[in-house]
Amino acid sequence: MGSRNTSMKLPSSAKSDNSRATQLQQRPPTYEGSTQNVMEKYKKQVQQAKTPEDLLGPLLSGMSIYEKRKLLEDAPDAVFKKDRDSTQITLNLETQLEDANYDELAQRVVYRYHLLNAGYNRDWFKEFIKLDVTIRWIVQRRTWCEQKAKALQIRQRDMSSPDLSRLQAYEEQIKSLNSRYWDTHRKQWVESEKLWSLSGRRALIRQRKHTDWYLSGVRGEDCAKRGGLLWT
């Protein structure tokens, strides 16, 4: 008897399925898929964290700032509980985040710590926020007055009597706002000396290190266009 070929041929449909499976295996993972996998890994790491230092890796990773905010929100309260050297460890975490230009995350760390360890009397903070709001309004109103005065000064030679009166009114208002600014600033300095919370003081110092903290470009410009009205 002649030799028989015992090998079995796969149906064309099976070959097609195998080909698609091979292509899927060779296809690189999508950005969304990779990000999701990394996020899940860091999420588990954060949920199992026991000290502030355990958060450092995820917070300094390549994840987006939005994902890092979520990770910080999901961190267990126990991480921020005041216990022996935890205050210094929390401060170290804040400092390392700040050194890496993650000031916002450092502020969120100190906020979590403060909520869990500071007292619940918020009267000081309410007063300080009122002074902050006043200073922001003064600066924004002054910006608006300065813009109006500058527009009038450009055509000063041909200025009518009503325009001249308006210019003088703007200049007087600018002087008044300058005086009010420094008076409010002194009150705020006095209030800052009353701050007993170390975490609150750290947050305040970190915020004030940015010279334009009270007037971002976008908000200031928008507010000036609306006549110096305080945004809500």
Residue 232: pLDDT over 50: no
What is residue 30's predicted lDDT score, i.e. its pLDDT?
A: 64
Rounded CA gap, 146 and 140, in Å?
10
- Range with top average pLDDT, 8-12, 22-26, 36-40, 133-137: 133-137
Q: Kindly state the tokens that stand for 51.
A: 């000290």
Instruction: Out of 15-24, 150-159, 167-176, 222-231, give the one with best mean pLDDT.
Output: 167-176
Confirm if 92 and 56 have CB atoms less than 8 A apart.
Answer: no
What does the angle CA 210 – CA 214 – CA 218 come to, to the nearest 5 degrees?
Answer: 100
Is the pTM here over 0.85, yes or no? no
Find the length of the chain: 232
Q: Tell me, what's the pLDDT at 146? A: 93
103 burial class (0-12, 13-18, 19+ CB within 10 angstroms)?
Answer: middle
* Helices 123-154 and 217-225, packing angle to 10 deg: 60
The tokens for 216 are: 């971002």
Contact 224, 147 (CB under 8 A): yes
Q: What is the pLDDT of residue 125?
A: 75
Q: Which pLDDT band, with edges at 50, 70 and 90, does 144 fall under? A: very high
CA dist 49 and 92 (Å) reads 16
202 pLDDT higher than 80: no
Q: How far is CA 145 from CA 137, 150, 167, 185, 202, in A?
A: 12, 9, 9, 20, 35
pLDDT tens for 74-106 read 899 888 876 555 566 677 888 888 888 888 888
Show the CA angle centred on residue 180, arms to residues 223 and 213, nearest 5°: 50
Q: So what's the pLDDT on residue 9? A: 55
Residue 100 near residue 171, CB atoms below 8 Å: no
User: Residue range 200-216: average pLDDT?
Assistant: 66
pLDDT of 149 strictly over 50: yes
Residue 12 has pLDDT above 60, yes or no: no
Using alpha carbons only, give the angle 77, 80, 89 rounded to the nearest 5 degrees.
Answer: 155
The DSSP secondary structure of 109-169, one letter per residue, reads: HHHHHHHHHS-S--HHHHHHHHHHHHHHHHHHHHHHHHHHHHHHHHT-TT--HHHHHHHHH
